[in-house]
């Protein structure tokens, strides 16, 4: 079976998008997704995005990391899918409902409110974003927030000094996090500017993580470190994150199509 895809990216966080909104896509297995994600032998992407029909929203979006695992939310893909769709839309994800409003090579997305919990266990000290008494080497006293998907956020004085390529996988797979976790390391530059690097669960170091930017900005805002509108700069570029009066998180930033193609499913297991 031949399957068409659209390759897109948001700040260099890249996706292959399969459009099954008319309902005729087969379900791909984890091994097939891993093979397609291979940057030498497959298409190569951080996440595979599968669009489908929805009874509660304009359409549904399922998200798979490069390791094949299905996850709940993806901020950069939300904007990319908005640009692909070309009109304002509500999108059902397993992490909740999101709204997207596309412009030219950019989109704004309403990502919902952050839930201050630690994986399945809402902890008293995590509920109000207080720092948690935990540490991994030079990364200490994180906060945890769920913005559809789970994130842990560390604030540091010098982002460049953090070996995220070694600490990221260690924290992601710590037995404290049975569902694994996205690891954000951030430096506050001013009340409206944050510098951020993210080790993504199931994808590793990426050029940008939209939900990571939302998670980091919302923790920083709740802790009084930044204003309600903040620029979050990742290796791939900058997102604007805004908090509304109800606690909703809004993200704005670029997204664009790279190319279109197709693959033979049998070639990928
Ligand atoms: N790149 C994404 C997040 C993708 C999912 C994440 N790795 C997870 O496992 O939750 C974004 O832009 O938000």
Task: Return all residues near 40 (Cβ < 8 A) that are at least 6 apart.
Answer: none
Over residues 157-171, mean pLDDT: 98
**Residues above pLDDT 70, as percent of the chain:** 95
CB 168 within 8 A of CB 109: no
Ligand 1 binding pocket includes 216 (Cβ within 6 Å) = no
Do 185 and 140 share a domain, yes or no?
Answer: yes
Q: Please choose from 11, 14, 37, 47 the residue to mutate so as to test ligand 1's pocket, defined by most ligand atoms within 8 A of CB.
A: 47
CA 149 to ligand 1 centroid distance, Å: 7
Whether pLDDT at 117 is above 80? no
Do 141 and 243 share a domain, yes or no?
Answer: yes
**Closest by CA position to 173, among listed 148, 137, 134, 199:** 199
Do 94 and 10 share a domain, yes or no?
Answer: yes
Do 42 and 150 share a domain, yes or no?
Answer: no
Atom of ligand 1 nearest to the CA of 210: 12
Ligand 1 binding pocket includes 71 (Cβ within 6 Å) = yes
pLDDT at 115: 82
Do 92 and 223 share a domain, yes or no?
Answer: no
Q: Please choose from 63, 98, 107, 173 the residue to mutate so as to test ligand 1's pocket, defined by most ligand atoms within 8 A of CB.
A: 63
pLDDT, tens digit (0-9, with 9 covering 90-100), for 201-217: 999 999 999 999 999 99
Do 135 and 148 share a domain, yes or no?
Answer: yes
Which tokens sit at 29?
A: 């297995």
CATH number of the domain bearing residue 156: 3.10.310.10
Over residues 164-192, mean pLDDT: 96
Tell the burial category of 55 from Cβ atoms under 10 Å away from its Cβ (0-12, 13-18, 19+).
exposed
Do 125 and 246 share a domain, yes or no?
Answer: yes
Q: Is there a catalytic annotation at residue 214?
A: no
Whether pLDDT at 178 is above 90? no
- Residue of minimum CA distance from atom 5 in ligand 1: 74
Catalytic residue of the set 209, 214, 226, 239 = 209
Q: Is there a catalytic annotation at residue 74?
A: yes
* Domain housing 7: 2-112+255-268
Q: At what angle do helices 210-222 and 75-85 cross, to 10 degrees?
A: 120
Over residues 23-36, mean pLDDT: 94
Ligand 1 binding pocket includes 147 (Cβ within 6 Å) = no
- DSSP H or E run through 229: strand 229-234
Tell the burial category of 124 from Cβ atoms under 10 Å away from its Cβ (0-12, 13-18, 19+).
exposed
Do 121 and 235 share a domain, yes or no?
Answer: yes
Over residues 110-136, mean pLDDT: 69
Do 98 and 132 share a domain, yes or no?
Answer: no
Over residues 31-50, mean pLDDT: 98
The more confident residue out of 132 and 121 is 132
Catalytic residue of the set 74, 126, 241, 255 = 74
pLDDT at 269: 85
pLDDT, tens digit (0-9, with 9 covering 90-100), for 95-107: 999 999 999 999 9
Least confident among 118-132, 138-152, 231-245: 118-132
Do 120 and 248 share a domain, yes or no?
Answer: yes
- Report in angstroms the alpha-carbon separations of 176 from 118, 120, 224, 257: 9, 11, 27, 38
Atom of ligand 1 nearest to the CA of 78: 12
Atom of ligand 1 nearest to the CA of 69: 9
Do 60 and 165 share a domain, yes or no?
Answer: no
Backbone dihedral angles phi then psi of residue 6, each to the nearest 5 degrees:
-115, 125
- DSSP H or E run through 171: helix 164-172
Do 99 and 211 share a domain, yes or no?
Answer: no
pTM of structure: 0.96
pLDDT at 127: 46
pLDDT at 196: 98
């Amino acid at each position: 079976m031949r399957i068409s895809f659209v390759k897109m990216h948001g700040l260099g966080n890249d996706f292959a998008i399969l459009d099954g909104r008319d309902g005729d896509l087969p379900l791909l297995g984890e091994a097939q997704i891993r093979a397609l994600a291979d940057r030498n032998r497959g298409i190569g992407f951080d996440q595979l995005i599968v669009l489908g029909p929805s009874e509660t929203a304009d359409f549904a979006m399922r998200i798979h990391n490069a390791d094949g695992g299905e996850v709940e939310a993806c901020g950069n893909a939300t904007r990319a899918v908005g640009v692909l769709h070309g009109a304002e839309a509500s999108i059902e994800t397993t992490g909740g409902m999101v709204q997207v409003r596309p412009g030219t090579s950019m989109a704004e997305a309403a990502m919902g409110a952050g839930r201050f919990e630690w994986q399945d266990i809402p902890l008293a000290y995590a509920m109000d974003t207080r720092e948690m008494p935990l540490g991994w080497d030079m990364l200490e006293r994180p906060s945890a927030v769920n913005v559809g998907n789970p994130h842990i956020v560390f604030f540091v004085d010098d982002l460049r000094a953090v070996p995220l390529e070694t600490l990221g996988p260690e924290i992601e797979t710590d037995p404290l996090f049975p569902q694994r976790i996205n690891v954000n390391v951030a430096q506050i530059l001013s009340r409206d500017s944050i510098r951020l690097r993210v080790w993504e669960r199931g994808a590793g170091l990426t050029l940008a993580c939209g939900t990571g930017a939302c998670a980091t900005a919302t923790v920083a805002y709740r802790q009084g470190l930044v204003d309600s509108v903040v620029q979050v700069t990742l290796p791939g570029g900058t997102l604007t994150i805004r908090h509304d009066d109800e606690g909703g998180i809004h993200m704005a930033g670029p997204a664009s199509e790279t190319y279109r193609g197709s693959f033979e499913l049998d070639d990928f297991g």
